[in-house]
């Protein structure tokens, strides 16, 4: 009798293993993985510095540092990529004389800036930085010096500039480096740095 029960038990176990084996073949499993991909951020900052004792320091207005005709001042302008994606940069510069907070209506051709023609390319009213700018990087200076030029003899036609302020307005723009955005947005071909007609 013991042997008979044992044989029946083995049959039940074998059947259980068979059913279990068959069931494993039909197990189904589904999973969903969510991956968050952050879009890049295009952001820039314009900064001015000046040379002081062989070091660059922040350029701040100094009412005691007055310009006279023929004066040259250190005025270093760069653009920093403060975003998370590489970008192309362009800048437009407007110069004007201000008196009492308002435009003085004086010619601005005597405000000279030593524009950097190696790293920047002028197309129309814009200066384009010819190197894509990685995140946290800064451009080479667009200009480094400002000169209040004389018209020939110092003192001739210069009195009208007394009690004025030079205002430099810099408009800087950035566009992503990828997907030919510079061509679509600015109509510029960056291989030859020419306008797309």
Task: State pLDDT tens for residues 81-95.
Answer: 999 999 999 999 999
Residues sharing a CB contact under 8 Å with residue 32, sequence separation 6 or more, in sequence order? none
Enumerate the β-bridge partners of residue 92: 171
Q: How many CB atoms lie within 10 A of CB 13?
A: 10
138: left (phi over 0), alpha (psi -120 to 50) or beta: beta
User: Model's pTM, two decimal places?
Assistant: 0.77
Domains of the chain: 44-195 (2.60.40)
- Sign, CA dihedral 167-51-146-42, equals negative
Q: Tokens for 86?
A: 């590489």
Taking only the tens place, the pLDDT of each residue in 46-78 is 999 889 898 999 888 777 778 888 889 999 999
């Amino acid at each position: 009798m013991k042997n008979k029960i044992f044989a029946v038990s083995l049959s039940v176990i074998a059947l259980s293993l068979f059913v279990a084996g068959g069931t494993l073949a039909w197990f189904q499993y589904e999973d969903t993985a969510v991956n968050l991909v952050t879009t890049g951020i295009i952001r820039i900052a314009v900064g001015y510095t000046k040379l002081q004792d062989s070091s660059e320091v922040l350029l701040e207005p100094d009412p005691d540092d007055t310009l006279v005709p023929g004066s040259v001042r250190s005025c270093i302008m760069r653009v920093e990529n403060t975003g998370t994606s590489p970008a192309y940069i362009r800048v437009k510069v407007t110069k004007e004389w201000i008196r009492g907070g308002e435009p003085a209506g004086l010619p601005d051709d005597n405000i000279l800036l030593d524009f950097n023609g190696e790293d920047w390319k002028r197309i129309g009213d814009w200066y384009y930085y010819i190197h894509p700018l990685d995140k946290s990087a800064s451009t080479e200076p667009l200009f480094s010096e400002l000169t209040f030029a004389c018209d020939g003899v110092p003192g001739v036609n210069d009195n009208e500039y007394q009690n004025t302020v030079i205002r430099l307005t810099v408009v800087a723009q950035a566009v992503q480096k990828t997907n030919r955005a510079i061509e679509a947005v600015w109509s510029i071909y960056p291989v030859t740095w020419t306008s797309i007609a």
